[in-house]
Amino acid sequence: MKLTDQQCKNANVPSSGITLLSDGGGLYLEIRANGSKYWRMKYTSPITKKQVTFHLGTYPELNLKTARMECSKARLLITSGIDPKEEKQANKTQQHENRINTFETIARKWHTDRAKHPDKWTPDHASRVIRSLELHVFPYLGKRPIAEIMPLEVLDVLKQIEQAGKYDTAHKVYDVVNQVFSYAVVLRLCVFNPASELRRELAQVKQKPFPHITDPKEIGELLRRIDGYGGTIQVRTLLQISPYVFTRPSELRLIKWAEIDFQAALWRKEETEMKNGIPHLVPLSRQVIALLEQMKPFTGHYEYVFYNKSTGKPLSDNAANKAMHRLGYQGIATPHGFRHTASTNLNEMDYNRDWIEYQLAHKEKNSSRDSYNFAKYLDSRAKMLQEWADYLDGLKQQAA
């Protein structure tokens, strides 16, 4: 006979032991001597074929009507060949994992795994990636279980960045977030990647070149100002060498004495030190060799050529940029802009385009030429760089 709410409420509490009130279908109310009342259900497990007692909840928190609904749900699972007790335990485990596997937890694990491999990331790049997550993503998605995050939540974060006018940043953050979710999918912490189709929702960004100058007269004036820079010799020499070699600023800033072959007038960068992950050989003009020789008394006993004694580290990213600002070139020219200056002028001077591209360490886009030969055109590039250095010196003298 079915129970009523009144029977459940007014059921006598046994002086000892347990009283069971059956509602049928395996559902019953268990009443204990301390007054506690528990809804339980007995069934045969479809998996083990053994009798199982399943706890549904406590009365009156779980009333009679709700207890019957929970019992019906359990019966449906059994009919489908699922043991409701095991299913409940699995759900608890999943909920626990969700609490542990937040976006921030998994993102930091992904970052640590990537940063362990210098062939994938330089230390500077690793630092920029985690800082980007900390600024733009963790405050909004950091504490969310990564398995529960939906595409619209990710898009909201990216749109907030766009609304601040940081369109390029939004694309960079997207790339990072997309990689984190792909990593989580591989680890089976996510069923799908909610960021995978969001790139098309972002505003298109036209890449702008770094501020640079190409007019010969203006180049000569800039070089004269650099020679007269009154800051530290490390920063001044860094700026003086930059236009001669036109490597990426981070590559020059982190140049090591061990990478320089003075006799062969070559600077060898290992793949772990390069943005594109490809080793690179830079021929050194007489002017660059002289400037490096000039640095030996100051930093020759350290690992890095441009070593900052006050911090115990190489010069910071901003050291050269700040110097350019002090020279009056903010928004006009940057250390990275020397690459554009050289590329534009050398092409106009009819130097072989391949020599220029190899000197810029641009990765081959043609898949049939992926086996990049870092020593290719070395003699031709050495001749080109010496002529370029002589040309720059000529511009500097004309500006005097």
Write the CATH number for 53.
3.30.160.390
The catalytic position among 229, 362, 383, 391 is: 362
As a whole number, the mean pLDDT across the chain is 86
Taking alpha carbons only, the member of 378, 355, 376, 354 closest to residue 366 is 354
Residue 207 lies in a domain: no
Tell me if residue 372 is catalytic. Answer: yes
Instruction: Provide the β-strand partners of residue 232.
Output: none
Confidence at 297, pLDDT banded by 50, 70, 90: very high
State the residue for tokens 């069971």.
Answer: 20
- Full strand arrangement of the beta sheet holding 260-261: 260-261, 266-269, 280-283
Looking at per-residue pLDDT, the higher value among 121 and 188 belongs to 188
The catalytic position among 37, 269, 280, 339 is: 339
Confidence at 370, pLDDT banded by 50, 70, 90: very low
Say whether both 107 and 190 belong to one domain: yes
The catalytic position among 109, 172, 275, 322 is: 275
Averaged over 89-117, what is the pLDDT? 79
Q: Which two tokens stand for residue 308?
A: 């900052």
Confidence at 365, pLDDT banded by 50, 70, 90: very low
Residue pair 386/286 in contact by the 8 Å Cβ criterion? yes
Tell me if residue 301 is catalytic. Answer: no
Total domain count, the chain: 3
The catalytic position among 136, 212, 236, 248 is: 248
Confidence at residue 150, expressed as pLDDT on a 0 to 100 scale: 94
Tell me if residue 362 is catalytic. Answer: yes
Show the domain range for 45.
5-82
pTM above 0.85, yes or no: no
Q: Check the CA dihedral 383-386-392-397 and report its sign.
A: negative
Residue 52 lies in a domain: yes
Tell me if residue 336 is catalytic. Answer: yes
Instruction: Give the separation between CA 359 and CA 252, rounded to whole angstroms.
Output: 13
The catalytic position among 37, 256, 269, 336 is: 336
pLDDT of 161 higher than 80 = yes
Confidence at residue 160, expressed as pLDDT on a 0 to 100 scale: 93
Averaged over 146-152, what is the pLDDT? 92
pLDDT of 183 higher than 80 = yes
Tell me if residue 339 is catalytic. Answer: yes
Averaged over 3-16, what is the pLDDT? 89
Say whether both 155 and 263 belong to one domain: no
Residue 91 lies in a domain: no
Say whether both 338 and 224 belong to one domain: yes
Residue 134 lies in a domain: yes
Q: Can you give the CATH number for the domain in which 190 is found? A: 1.10.150.130
Q: In this prediction, what percent of the chain has a pLDDT beyond 90?
A: 45
pLDDT of 81 higher than 50 = yes
Tell me if residue 68 is catalytic. Answer: no
